Amino acid sequence: MKVLGIMGSPRIGGNSDLLLDQALAGAKEAGAEVEKLILSRKKISGCLNCEKCNETGICVVKDDMLEIHKKILDADGIIHSVPLYFWAMTAQMKAYLDRWCAFFNGEWQLHEAYRARMEGKKIGLITVCGDPDVSAADPIVRSFKNTCELSNLTWLGAVQVSAGAKGEIASNKTARKKAYDLGKKGATE
C-alpha cells in the first residue's frame, strides 16, 4: 500500500503542511509506504488544452508533472492538503489538478492506458482556511469530489479546518486527529 501526500501550500511548516504530516503519519502507522510532494518546489505549468494527451495519455508539457503522473499512478491513495486562497485552491494545486487531464481521453473517460491503475484509487482532502466558517473552502472540496466521481475514484472525504497564523493548527488536537484518521483511512479502506 502506497499513500502519496500532495502539499498544495507554498508555506512550508504552515497549517496545511502540518496536517498533511499528520495524515501521512496515520497512513504510515496503518502500514502504508508514504511519500510527500511539495508542489511549490516543483515546476508545474498550466494545461495548454492542446488535447494531445487525449490520444496518447502523455502530456506534451515537459515539466515535473510527468514525474508526478507516475507517482499518482503508483499510489493506492492520495491525500491532498491545501489552504484556501481568495476563496479557491492555491495556484500550485490548481495547476496540478488541471494537469490530471492527461489521464482522460477526448470523451472525459479514463484513458485506456490508465483505467486499471486509476479506478478505485483513494482520494482524500485537507483544507485550511482563515475564515471561522470552514464551508468557505467548499469549492475546493467540490473540485476534488467531482474529480473522484468523474474518474471512479474512491472519495475518502475531506477534513476542513479553520486556522490563520502559521503553525496555529499544532494546538488543535481535534484537527490533527481528523487528519491522522484520514491518512489511516487512505491506507486501509
Q: What domains are there in the chain, each with its CATH number? A: 2-188 (3.40.50.360)
Cβ atoms 120, 152 nearer than 8 A? yes
Q: Which amino acid is at 114?
A: Y
Identify the pLDDT of residue 107: 87
| Measured distance CA(172)–CA(85) in Å, rounded | 21
pLDDT at res. 108? 86
- Per-residue pLDDT at 189: 67
Written as tens digits, the pLDDT of the chain (189 aa) is 999 999 999 999 999 999 999 999 999 999 999 999 999 999 999 999 999 998 888 999 999 999 999 999 999 999 999 999 999 999 999 999 999 999 998 888 899 989 999 999 999 999 999 999 999 999 999 999 999 998 899 999 999 999 989 999 999 999 999 999 999 999 986
Cell 500500500, residue? 1
The per-residue pLDDT for 98 is 96
Q: Rounded to 5 degrees, what are φ and ψ at 157?
A: 110, 180
Query: Which residue bears the cell 489511516?
Result: 184
In whole angstroms, give the CA distance from residue 75 to residue 34: 9
